[in-house]
Every structure is written in C-alpha cells, then in structure tokens.
Chains A and B, each alone.
Chain A
Amino acid sequence: DAGITQSPRHKVTETGTPVTLRCHQTENHRYMYWYRQDPGHGLRLIHYSYGVKDTDKGEVSDGYSVSRSKTEDFLLTLESATSSQTSVYFCAISESTGTGGREQYFGPGTRLTVT
C-alpha cells in the first residue's frame, strides 16, 4: 500500500469555524490531490498540487484553500465551514510523468461533519 496518511480521520465541527485537514505521504510523489466524496456524485476534485508551492483548482474549489510547503504534506483548509461541506475527504498521490493522467493512490479518508 502507498504510504499515505490523513489526519484527523473523523472530525465534527460547527458552522463558521475553520478546519484544516492534513495529508502526508512517504512516497515522494510529485502530485497530490484533494477530493470530496458524496452520495450520487462519486469523487470530485477540490484542489491539486504539482509541486511544492504549486497548486491549482479543481471542479469544486469554492470555500476551500490548500497549501503545500513540503513535498510530503498537502493541507486542505475550510476557512469557514458550512453544512454543505459535510463529506468524506480523500487525499491521493500520483507520480505523473507529465504525459497525462496516471494512476492515483488514495489515503484512508477523513469524515467531516459540520453541524
């Protein structure tokens, strides 16, 4: 299994509070991704990173920000959590070669509930 950990694994927070989720990898892969998974929607990309300090938006980036100060860590921040951000969040990594979308390896997920 790819060395990917996510923390926390479960979190309950109140509307309006900031939340940061952490993804840590030990594979030294260049690309890291944050997805959210909701029933009926599959996985939707929030943000991704193609290197330290290099990030870009996915299809559902509103209300989320990310940072990557080290190769191994990719942080997802909800600046002011809303109930619509209740979801399961997955981090993924990929050693893409610059020639297209290669396979990604996923972490165990973080279940976030916003009350």
Chain B
Amino acid sequence: AQSVTQPDIHITVSEGASLELRCNYSYGATPYLFWYVQSPGQGLQLLLKYFSGDTLVQGIKGFEAEFKRSQSSFNLRKPSVHWSDAAEYFCAVGARFGNEKLTFGTGTRLTIIP
C-alpha cells in the first residue's frame, strides 16, 4: 500500500519570497503523484500531477513540482508567493496499477506575511 508524508504542518513565508513544500511518498514502484490546494471553506483543487516523463511538472497558479525517484519526493515550489497563495496544500499518491484510490498527506498550511 502507498503512503505519503508531509513533514511540515505549517509554513510562514513573506510575500514575494520563494516557497518549497515537502512531500515524501512510499510505494514499491513509481506512483502517480498530485498536489492539491484548499482555500478556507472550499474543496480541494488540483494544482498539478505527475504520471510519467519529464520529472519537472508545471501546474496552475505558477506552481511546479519535481519528482525525485532517488529521494522518494515530490516537492512543490513557487518562485514568488502572493498573498492569495495562503491556503492548505495536500500531496497525494496513487498506485500505478489496479488500486483506484489516492492516499493523501496530512497537509501543510501556508501563511503569507506582508
């Protein structure tokens, strides 16, 4: 079974600063990987996904993530954050074969300070 860890519960960054949110997964092969964002009182919105190919994937809202097999990681990055990026971010992993379920991390809450 797959699992995912988001080691940072809460991160605070200044507006305009760069951002990196960490995600580590456990799975016996290369999984499907996802990042979602949740604004307060809202559902989850898909930011980006990795299935195969280029290990650097681009998403919406200026986010990108890099799949590193050797580190079992799929970290989310943004070069310059905006106040509107304040939200909770979830990493998720899906099995590549058979299992149609996703496993979600516990989330990282991002606070932006002016």
A interface, CB within 8 angstroms of B:
4, 31, 33, 35, 40-45, 48, 50, 58, 90, 92, 94, 96, 98-109
With beta carbons under 8 angstroms apart, the residue of A42, A45, A48, A90 that contacts B106 is A42
Quote the shortest CB–CB distance from B104 to chain A (angstroms). 4
Contact yes or no, B43 A103, CB < 8 A: no
Tell me the complex Cα distance, A50–B100, Å: 9
- Given contact pairs A42-B90, A99-B97, A104 touches B102 in the complex (Cβ within 8 A): yes
Interface: B70 (CB within 8 A): no
| Partner among A33, A42, A105 whose Cβ is within 8 Å of the Cβ of B105 | A42
Contacts of B49 in A (CB 8 A): 103
> How many residues of B are in contact with the other chain, CB < 8 A?
26
With both beta carbons as reference points, the residue of chain B lying nearest to A90 in the complex is identified as B43
For the complex with contacts A42-B105, A48-B100, A90-B44, 9 further pairs of A-B residues with Cβ separation under 8 Å are A35-B104, A42-B104, A48-B101, A101-B95, A101-B100, A103-B46, A106-B43, A108-B42, A108-B43
